[in-house]
């Protein structure tokens, strides 16, 4: 993550200038339609003179508008776009624009010249932006900085090509619509912003007074220190306390160099869209967050990406440098619309790895019948490993199963006409289906627990945080 350097590109070339009339110009041209009535009533002009007057009037207004447009074309600006070379999927990424005026129209009386400017950046198709149009008042020698946020919904190489500018003419007869070539190419990665925030948080938690306190700190001796309120009395070192004449406790830390194997499913179930991203993208973010936490805690982390076979295998290693290797190997992975072979993957892991390890399966569960193969695979892992099955729940199913009703269905039926009966019935059907899905899901999790597997079922957008918390709890309690 150390190579997240900003990209900066600059352009001064405006092209494809186009004349766009304003309402003021349309209004003045509309006044020309009233000239025949006024002139015929006031002077009794003939039809030929009326047509000549209208033509001269419109010609004069058009000439003034064209002259006004030429003055708007005298504005010359430069734009610079700056952003990170690697953006984060599913996050608000900041894009900076810097505007500088290089040339402007002049006035004989040297009065200040101001012109409204609208900027529309040409971000990649599919991105969402919090501001479609950026506005500023142009004036001579102005320098302005803008920023807006983009939300990338997919990973890969993405490009900005142009910036559209709309400058209003000095008299307000027209807009000059132009494009400026300003090409920027970035790579959209998994959630790098979340990884940076998690790294800071883990660093703070591992130091001084900010270290998180649990009743049991781990299994390996770390150091001796003076007792403070909240320390576990079972950790009291009575010999050291007697020698120093003050209470001393032993600090324990989780064992290091323990294996952590992450199995990342990229099969058919992971292609579904959940909260704006594919379920696989949420799982990939969670896998990287867990890998970072494991490497920070001194464990050896390995990852397998699979569907009907293991397509990518990264052997367990320790050290934070291993995270960059994992990120480069995984950021181009995409889900496939094929069924995943859970039993085959579990068999390969059992054959390749003999030491006890925490094995985390990132996938999704529908019900006991559809997930029968997954249940069998997790059961095979449990004697040797500590398996943890992590499923990414769709919050929309929760919302349908537990709607926030402002009034009871009975009152709706009494107060609503027959035309509202069908929507109420449809809503109840949807709620019944959602409740059944959640119930079948819970039954599948119960079966997993019976076979010795730990389980986690969390909304897709919260899975990274909750998975890291679960891992830290397992480490602290010495479950590995």
**Alpha helices (H) along 169-314:** 192-205, 238-244, 279-296
pLDDT, position 411: 46
Mean predicted confidence (pLDDT) in 318-322:
93
**CA–CA distance, 62 with 299 (Å, rounded to integer):** 75
pLDDT, position 209: 43
pTM of the model: 0.80
**CA–CA distance, 270 with 317 (Å, rounded to integer):** 27
Residue bearing the bigger pLDDT, 8 or 198: 198
Topology classification of domain 259-476? Rossmann fold (3.40.50)
Residue bearing the bigger pLDDT, 265 or 412: 265
Residue bearing the bigger pLDDT, 451 or 213: 451
Residue bearing the bigger pLDDT, 202 or 14: 202
Domain segments of the chain as ranges: 6-22+75-189, 193-253, 259-476
pLDDT, position 404: 64
- 183-186: long-range pairs with CB below 8 Å, 24+: 183/9, 183/159, 184/7, 184/9, 184/81, 184/83, 184/159, 184/160, 185/7, 185/157, 185/158, 185/159, 185/160, 186/7, 186/83, 186/84, 186/85, 186/86, 186/87, 186/157, 186/158, 186/159
Residue bearing the bigger pLDDT, 5 or 329: 329
**CA–CA distance, 169 with 158 (Å, rounded to integer):** 34
Instruction: Please check the confidence at residue 321 and state whether its pLDDT lies above 50.
Output: yes
Whether 259-476 and 6-22+75-189 are alike in CATH topology: the answer is no
Topology classification of domain 6-22+75-189? Immunoglobulin-like (2.60.40)
**Lowest pLDDT segment from 39-53, 63-77, 135-149, 340-354:** 39-53
- Which of 187, 345, 191 shows the shortest CA–CA distance to 266? 345
Mean predicted confidence (pLDDT) in 6-28:
78
- Which of 15, 12, 23, 13 shows the shortest CA–CA distance to 168? 23
Instruction: Please check the confidence at residue 215 and state whether its pLDDT lies above 50.
Output: no
pLDDT, position 213: 43
Mean predicted confidence (pLDDT) in 230-234:
69
Mean predicted confidence (pLDDT) in 179-194:
93
Mean predicted confidence (pLDDT) in 217-240:
68
Each residue of 102-152: pLDDT tens digit?
887 776 555 557 889 999 999 999 999 999 999 998 888 788 999 999 999
Q: Quick one: pLDDT band at residue 477, thresholds 50, 70, 90? A: confident
Mean pLDDT: which of 21-35, 44-58, 225-239, 295-309 is highest? 295-309
Instruction: Please check the confidence at residue 6 and state whether its pLDDT lies above 80.
Output: no
Instruction: Report the mean per-residue pLDDT for the chain.
Output: 84
Distances (CA, A) of 91 to 78, 276, 282, 325: 29, 11, 12, 22
Instruction: Please check the confidence at residue 303 and state whether its pLDDT lies above 70.
Output: yes
> How many C-beta atoms lie closer than 10 Å to residue 217's C-beta?
22
Mean predicted confidence (pLDDT) in 165-188:
91
**CA–CA distance, 473 with 480 (Å, rounded to integer):** 11
258, two tokens: 């323990």
- Which of 472, 85, 122, 53 shows the shortest CA–CA distance to 297? 472
**CA–CA distance, 364 with 39 (Å, rounded to integer):** 79
- Which of 407, 370, 409, 412 shows the shortest CA–CA distance to 391? 370
pLDDT, position 53: 74
pLDDT, position 420: 58
The residues that bridge with 341 in the sheet, in sequence order, are none
């Amino acid at each position: 993550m150390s190579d997240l350097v900003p990209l900066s590109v600059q352009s001064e070339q405006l092209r494809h200038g186009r004349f766009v009339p304003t309402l003021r110009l349309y209004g003045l041209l509309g006044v020309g339609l009233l000239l025949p009535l006024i002139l015929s009533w006031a002077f009794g002009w003939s039809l030929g003179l009326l047509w000549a007057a209208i033509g001269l009037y419109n010609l004069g207004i058009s000439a003034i508008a064209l002259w006004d447009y030429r003055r708007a074309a005298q504005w010359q600006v430069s734009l610079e776009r700056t952003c990170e070379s690697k953006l984060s999927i599913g996050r608000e990424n900041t894009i900076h624009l810097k505007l500088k005026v290089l040339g402007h129209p002049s006035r004989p009386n040297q009065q200040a010249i101001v012109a409204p400017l609208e900027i529309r950046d040409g971000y990649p198709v599919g991105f969402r932006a919090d501001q479609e149009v950026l506005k500023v008042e142009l004036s001579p020698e102005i320098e302005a900085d803008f920023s807006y946020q983009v939300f990338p919904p997919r990973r890969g190489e993405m490009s900005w090509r142009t910036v559209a500018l709309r400058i209003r003419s000095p008299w307000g007869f027209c807009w000059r619509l132009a494009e400026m070539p300003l090409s920027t190419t970035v790579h959209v990665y998994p959630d790098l912003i979340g990884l940076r925030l998690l790294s800071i948080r883990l660093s703070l938690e591992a130091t001084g007074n900010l270290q998180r306190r649990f009743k049991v700190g781990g299994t390996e001796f770390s150091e001796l220190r003076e007792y403070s309120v909240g320390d576990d009395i079972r950790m009291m070192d009575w010999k050291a306390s007697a020698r120093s004449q003050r209470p001393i406790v032993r600090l324990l830390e989780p064992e290091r160099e323990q294996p952590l194997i992450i199995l990342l499913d990229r099969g058919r179930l992971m292609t579904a869209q959940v909260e704006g991203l594919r379920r696989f993208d949420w799982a990939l973010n969670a896998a990287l967050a867990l890998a970072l936490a494991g490497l920070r805690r001194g464990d050896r982390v390995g990852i397998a990406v699979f569907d009907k076979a293991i397509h990518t295998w990264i052997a367990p290693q320790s050290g934070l440098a291993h995270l960059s290797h994992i990120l480069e190997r995984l950021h181009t992975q995409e889900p496939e619309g094929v069924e995943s072979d859970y039993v085959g993957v579990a068999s390969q892991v059992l054959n390749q790895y003999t030491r006890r390890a925490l094995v985390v399966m990132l996938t999704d569960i529908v019900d006991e019948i559809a997930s029968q193969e997954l249940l069998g695979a997790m059961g095979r892992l449990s004697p040797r490993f500590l398996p943890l099955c992590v499923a990414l729940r769709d919050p929309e199913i929760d919302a349908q199963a537990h709607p926030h009703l402002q009034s009871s269905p009975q009152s709706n039926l009494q107060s609503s006409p027959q035309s509202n009966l069908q929507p109420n019935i449809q809503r109840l059907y949807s709620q019944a289906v959602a409740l059944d899905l959640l119930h079948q899901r819970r039954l599948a999790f119960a079966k997993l627990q019976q076979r010795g597997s730990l389980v986690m079922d969390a909304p897709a957008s919260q899975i990274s945080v909750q998975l890291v918390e679960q891992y830290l709890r397992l480490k602290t309690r010495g479950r590995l």
